[in-house]
Structure 1
Amino acid sequence: MTVRDFDDSEPPRFDAPAMGLSSPLYWFYEMTHVALNPSRAVAHATHAFFKSPSNPVSNTTLGKSISAACELFERATRRYSQPEWGIDNTVVDGRLVNVEIETVWERPFCRLLHFHRDVPLTHRPDPRVLVVAPLSGHYATLLRGTVQALLPEHDVYITDWVDARMVPISEGRFDLNDYIDYVIGMLRLLGSDTHVLAVCQPGVPVLCAISVMETNEEAHVPESMILMGSPIDTRISPTAVNKVAEKRGIDWFRRNVITKVPFPNPGFMRDVYPGFLQLNGFMSMNLDRHLEAHSKLFQHLIEGDGDSAAAHREFYDEYLAVLDLAAEFYLQTVDTVFISHLLPEGKLVHRGIKVDPSKIRRVALMTVEGEADDITGLGQTQAAQTLCSNIPDEKRLHYVQPGVGHYGVFNGSRFRNEILPRIAAFIRAND
């Protein structure tokens, strides 16, 4: 029996119901934003008035308190748009060089960005790295620190996922199979001398894409893949996220978290999992910490601690910027990864081809986990090492970073100082 004979049927389609229980929710959300616009305008003007150096009250505790309260209200009711990358240069071989961000590949739900470094023609070719950013609620700019850390020694590309709210319904569906096709298309474009770095959620579709390419004996498989904090097998060390998915079941998610994009957004009437619902889930996991952070911002503004206030704004401008996910992609991912565990159980099929990681032979594999990760439990990413049973031992590496949670796996000082050097060495060894 050949691989193509395994199962020529497509996996179930995860279409949302025509009118689920949460369908009106997005409309209420939009109307609330519109209704708050006058209050936000008043708060903004009041903040400017009491912040102005020409206003003698601005230097009093009362003036600072009013200004701080108005800023917190405006920030709490604002809709945060996609942040800018803010990467204009980097240091290569001790020399400051300009960086230009260019789109080199585009589909309705994703753009592939290249961080082109203005290096001399005599500069040695650096390893080409495709960073596959998570499509789980935040924009790809969440990996700004990851990209900045890679740039000095790597030629970096990254997936820039598009907010489903902005994609007209005429552009069609987007599900997990389409995600896998997108990854395959990017790898074919970039060529075989590429290294793939998947952060969190994309670990599954990246592993699937490379498995399918190896099954088809394609020439453009990458040199290596690095999976970081990825939910390859969520049966291992299940976290609160995993347990909720299994307890609720896919029908609960279909009925309660899927809604239609309201007018006048370009994606009007598209079924989506709204970003604001995902953000609510993120915030509720550590609500006390977020409330404390905003309380501290209020105090920093009154005390005139500009550096601390700026750090808060920078973090939350990124954290509170969320995008919508196509409903079919969200539902299929929840069912495949968190409920049915199709990949580790050997039951996942893509376009009639069985996804078999044991077919991977030519691609080196590195898995990275955080010791204190409460999103992707310890061992879930390492499971890829077992599934990819035919990769030679000399082309494997597993690393657990002590003392970091999920975010620390791909960002922060420990990522830069302890994880990145290991990734760079692994890439160089397999380049």
Structure 2
Amino acid sequence: MQQIHQYIPVLYRFVKSKSIQKVRRLKKHRSLFYNLNHFHFVLNKLDALVVVIDKNGKVQYVSNSSKKTLGYEPSKLLGNQWWELTRNNEEERLHAKEWVKKIAEGKAHLQELTMERKLIAANGLTKWIVWNISFLSNHTIVAIGHDITQRKLSEQLLHQSHLDLVAKNNEIISGIEYAKRIQQAILPDVSEIKKSFNYNAFVLYKPKDIVSGDFYWHYKQGNKVYVAVIDCTGHGVPGALMSVIAHSIFKEVFINQKLTNTSDILYAIDTELFNELNKNKTHSPYPDGMDVAICCMNIETHELAFSGAMRPLILVRNNEVIEIKSSRYPIGFYNDVSKKFISENIQLKTGDSFYIFSDGYIDQFGGDTSEYKEGKKLNKVRFKELLLTINEMEIEEQETFLEYALNNWKQQLEQTDDIVVLGVKI
């Protein structure tokens, strides 16, 4: 039996404090702690690895738990063999001995008296031990260690899973960022829209995510200027993919079919979208689509033609807000009903302003969150009030004010949906 009687008092205090639950279960042996045989009995019942090191760094005692934890008989680890067998290389051995010397001389900081270290077991595997250190007046160190290898392995697996997720997320984000550049490339140039309306127009475009399911359209033919706001099913990547399909359909209808009447354009887009989404006849029709507000303005006569599929037009005239309602049918979605799209003709006057928009702005949650954590929708009534407020502003100021009002409304809440607002002032 190893001669450990001189360390029994401190071992008793230390083992009791670090393994209190097991000591309690063995409390019937407490009166016998100062008997060497019974102390060995208690130590053998504990899972803790107990190591006693003298001031010269030589190991004087190792508990029997070393057989279970490290695969070594305690006698094999005495003296300098502890450092030789449980460390990988000389650098690690020297580092460990320097650390022991620092503790023995009382130069260690308090936080260094509890630490995690890795040891090499007899089978060559790494074992992680969390050590609690105490030292006697004769500079002898008493270390109580607990095997935390499984915990460390779980932490490493979790960390690796996190790194894998971060890498995958970065890869996905990179792909979506590239998709954003493609989507931006097919969007009309806002400066061309402004130019078409003698620089009295703005486009407020705010995707909810990196890419958007909402987009805007611009086409000029002779003295007529067409603008549209399109709100596709969903937002983010699904909405963006739908917007690419919708963009190609708009080009087909305007450039190849050369349609000019706004209601005819909606009918044609509806047909083209259904055909595009349902080329494969082996499945049921996809319930996807979009809401559209489309205008055609004669820039010489200021006559405006409007057609809407679930999206209205708002006209502000003489401090009055007039809503031109749309058809109650969207583009797509329904293939088994007879849809009706009409064209409304409006003679615009100097000072008039008109706006077409997706539902993202009016559906934004915010306002007073004291009653409802998620806030409430801005809604169409407040939106009309905002349009009336900005009516006398210059067109650039209108866009700035609408963005400010939106941010002020949502505060710290996230953006609810993609947003497009297109405004024109006569």
TM-score of the superposition, structure 2-length normalised? 0.22
- The structure with the largest alpha-carbon Rg is 2
Q: Which structure has more helix as a fraction of its residues?
A: 1
Higher relative contact order (CA 8 A, sep 6+): 1
TM-score of the superposition, structure 1-length normalised? 0.22
